[in-house]
Amino acid sequence: MVGHRIYNPKGISLIEIIAALAILATVAVISLPGIFSQLNAARERTTILDMKEIHRAIVGNPELGTFGFLGDMGKLPDTLNDLIVKPTGAPDFNHNHTNRVGMGWRGPYLNGFSEDDVIRDKWGTPYQYSPTGPNAGQVISAGPDKDINTTADNIIYPADGPLKTTGSFLLMVLVNRIAEPYGVTVNIYSTDNGGESATILTKTTGDNGSGYPGFFFHDLKHGIHAVKVTHTGTKDGVSYTVTRTVSMGIGANAQRDYEFRLQTMADAKLKI
């Protein structure tokens, strides 16, 4: 017996089409919140990664001997765009400074970022950023709702308050193995807007602020500095002066301890 295939000459009915569309609409309504949630989660992860890169461009990685825009220029960028485009009037990076310490703008400090990438989060909203005030140096995203005034979903990096731009430096000086020698002067040279500052931080043995056992400098700018130690004394009835300059990196909100050894000999040879 040959089977028969049932054929409906009228095709799919309007009711069937409406029912199918209703099912699809219901599935879409159920799925959309989950899809939007996944999209927002992905945008949040990418935004945080971008914010970390922007932060690293500002401060570098002191553990690797890099100090970012802050270390090169001696200040926070006025705008995030300064990390991509050299600010007007900023000097190019060069080593024409004490002990050949490099200073000046050597950007772009971000690779793979366009000017739009560095100023907007992944929701397309401009970052909030300022070099001054209670959120100095922090990068702030308005989050999924794109409203900076509703703070519940804002993303702030770094989250622990305004960015610190200075650290401390404790310098121990030994001359001929004497731990508290007289006649010692310490000068520290820092960058100021990309050029060597006219203000030299100085401490001398006997200064009220010097203090032994060491020369302690508070609020020293983040970055690479030239540290110059000069000792004046007498050997075998003859006066002498010995000087040695080294380069030293200071991380923001960190303390760097360093021991400086000077050994005077007949030929004034120095050892450190």
- 185's enclosing H/E stretch is strand 184-189
DSSP 65: T
Predicted local distance difference test score (pLDDT) of residue 79: 97
Q: Which residue, chain included where needed, has tokens 């970055």?
A: 223
pLDDT in tens, the chain (272 residues): 555 555 455 556 777 677 667 777 776 666 556 656 778 789 999 999 999 999 999 999 988 889 999 999 999 999 999 999 999 999 999 999 999 999 999 999 998 888 888 999 999 999 999 999 999 999 999 999 999 999 999 999 999 889 999 998 888 887 777 666 778 889 999 999 999 999 999 888 765 444 455 788 888 999 999 999 888 877 777 788 888 898 989 988 888 887 777 665 433 333 33
Q: CATH homologous superfamily of domain 166-262?
A: Immunoglobulins (2.60.40.10)
User: What does the pLDDT read at residue 265?
Assistant: 45
Residue type, 247: S
Alpha helices in 65-170 (DSSP H): 68-73, 115-119
Copy the structure tokens of residue 100: 């050949």
CA angle at residue 142 from 87 to 159, to 5 degrees? 75
pLDDT of residue 244: 86
Tell me which architecture the domain covering 28-157 has in CATH: 2-Layer Sandwich (3.30)
The pLDDT score that the predictor gives to residue 180 is 65
* Domain parsing of the chain, residue ranges: 28-157, 166-262
Query: What are the residues facing 244 on neighbouring strands?
Result: 229
What per-residue confidence (pLDDT) applies to 156? 97
Tokens of 149: 């005034």
Model's pTM, two decimal places? 0.80
